[in-house]
Each structure stands twice: as structure tokens, then as C-alpha cells.
Structure 1
Amino acid sequence: MTRRLWDDDERLIEDLAEAVHATQPLADTIAAHAEGALSWRTIDEDLLQASLTFDSSLEAAAGIRAEPGQTRLLVFTSTPLSMELEVTQDEVVGQILPPGPGEIHVETPDGTEYSVSTNESGFFELPSLPADAVRLRCDTATGRVVTDWVRL
């Protein structure tokens, strides 16, 4: 029996289609692993999130905003660090607890970031902040903490 050339081509195409089809589960597995790896990129921040536990601009019982122009106090609490902020019309000052030297990184939703240092007592002063929400990340020898997003 004589083999026709196109029979070999058809068999080759079938084998190729079978090989490509067999790689689909592998591609799905690789995509799932990549997705899982990406979800871990912010795990440190997720675990070290400091929650806003006090905001003087809201009267806790009534839920009424404070008068404009008053000093606003905010407290972010976590373990091992906490952060207190005092926001006035002209400045934002704060302290990390326990007190000590550190670096405060201010982040905005658009990715803008700048840093200020704390002194030995944990005190720091921020330059004027954008009107948009910010998140503060504090790095010290004791640990790292990231605040909730907040509009100051």
C-alpha cells in the first residue's frame, strides 16, 4: 500500500492539536499560581494594618461632625505600633507609640509617596497634605504599621 503525503500531514496536525490541547490544564495551573503569588505582595501591610480607633471629628454618641477649624485628633491602633495624629488647619503633627525613631511614609491613591523622619520621642510633622485620602506607613526598629486610608 502506498502512503499518501497528505495522510502524514493530517496525522501531524492531529498530533499537534492533541499536544496543544494537553497543555491547557498546565496553563490554567500556572495562571492560578501566578494569581496566588500576586495576592501575597501586600501581605505584610495586610497583617500590620492599624485601624482608626478614634477620630475626634465625629462625636461618637451622636455621629455629628466637629466644627470646622477645630483640632482633629486621630488614633490608629495595632500591634506592635500605634500612631496618633493632630490635624489643624495649618499643620499635621503626630507621634508613634511606643516612642522612638522611625520613618513615616505618606502614600496617596495615585501612587505619590513622600517620607518624614520621627525624632527619638517618636514625634513627626507632615507637610501640607493633598485633599485626597492618604495612608501612612511607619517603619521602626520595633516593627512596621500601615494605617487605614483617611482624609485628613
Structure 2
Amino acid sequence: MRQWPPHSDDALLIELGAALRDSGPVPEHFLAAALAAFSWRTVDAELAVAELTFDSACDLEPVGSTRSGGTDRTLTFRSGPVVLAVEVTASGVVGQLSPAAPGRLSARSAAGQYEDVPVDEAGFFSMGVPPTGPVQLRASTATYKVRTCWVSLR
């Protein structure tokens, strides 16, 4: 049985050398996870972050305004001149990008991407019911790319 801590620097070097020699090959699933993490290191830097500027679940509606029937929640995200407005209802999500431009909008949860929908020339899009938990939206047009902060839509 080995004593710990070793009584000399030489004994410590022998222990460290044995640990390094006996490690064996790196398991494939470790390599796959490392490569996946490495490929995502710059993905967020390539996209402008649209911060949440309005959430009807938290913010008060302006005085005198009335809510449209069926809208459970309205959210607005902004990144510079780009605005992403979203309405969440029991039947799904509708929204609009401004400035309006055709493109794609994808949505992901902690489990991965769950929607990828077209954005029409007027900037409109629609998706199904979002999952519970945090969601991030990513919009891409010919002139801009933007992602939202993570937010629970329901």
C-alpha cells in the first residue's frame, strides 16, 4: 500500500509519472463532447445579442391600452436598430422582425433546436407552442443576425 502524502519529491514524481502512464486512451464520448464544445466557442460572438426590453408578464401596459384577446404574453427584444416582437398564445408563437426582411428564425431550448421557420418579406414568422423552460431565438437575414437572451416563453 502506498503512503500518502509521499515523503519526498522523488516519490511524488514517481506517483505523478505512474498516473500519467496508466491513464490509457481518451474515451470517444469525451473527445466528441470536447469537439462539440470547441465548435461552439465563437457562435455567440458572431451574433448580436437582443436584450429583453418589454415583457407583459412583468411590465405594466401603458395607461389606456387594452390587450388583444388570446395573447397570453408579449415580449420585445432589441439590439441596436433590430427589434424582435413576439406574442405567445396557447396555440403557438407569432412575431415580427424589424427592420423587415426575409430570412430564418430558429428557436432552441436547453435540449437543442426545436424550431426553424421562415421569416417572410414583412418580417413575420410563426412557430408552434414553445417548450417549458428557457428558450433562445436566433434570427438571420441577409443584412443582420441576432439572438435573444435566454427567456422562458410560457
Give me the whole-angstrom Cα distance separating, in 2, the residues matched to 1:133 and 1:40. Answer: 21
Name the CA shift for 1:130/1:99 in 2 (closer, same or farther; >3 Å): same
More strand by share: 2
Aligned twin of 2:45: 43
Give me the whole-angstrom Cα distance separating, in 2, the residues matched to 1:100 and 1:37. Answer: 29
Taking every aligned residue pair, what percent have the same amino acid on both sides? Answer: 37
Name the CA shift for 1:70/1:97 in 2 (closer, same or farther; >3 Å): closer
Aligned twin of 1:102: 103
Amino acid at match of 2:44: T
Amino acid at match of 1:95: Q
Q: SS of 2:117's equivalent?
A: strand
Q: SS of 2:46's equivalent?
A: helix
Name the CA shift for 1:96/1:49 in 2 (closer, same or farther; >3 Å): same
The Cα of 1:80 is off from its aligned counterpart by 4.4
Q: SS of 1:129's equivalent?
A: coil
Cα RMSD between the aligned structures? Answer: 2.8
Aligned twin of 2:133: 132
More helix by share: 1
| TM-score, scaled relative to structure 1 | 0.63
| TM-score, scaled relative to structure 2 | 0.62
8 Å Cα contact 2:73-2:87 kept in structure 1: yes
List 4+ stretches of structure 1 deviating above 2 A: 36-42
Q: Which structure 2 residue ranges, 5 or more long, are not aligned?
A: 1-37, 62-69
Amino acid at match of 1:42: D
The Cα of 1:98 is off from its aligned counterpart by 0.4
The Cα of 1:39 is off from its aligned counterpart by 4.6
Give me the whole-angstrom Cα distance separating, in 2, the residues matched to 1:103 and 1:117. Answer: 5
Return the index of the structure with the highest Cα Rg: 1
Q: SS of 2:143's equivalent?
A: coil
Name the CA shift for 1:41/1:105 in 2 (closer, same or farther; >3 Å): closer
Give me the whole-angstrom Cα distance separating, in 1, the residues matched to 2:147 and 2:120. Answer: 19
8 Å Cα contact 2:90-2:129 kept in structure 1: no
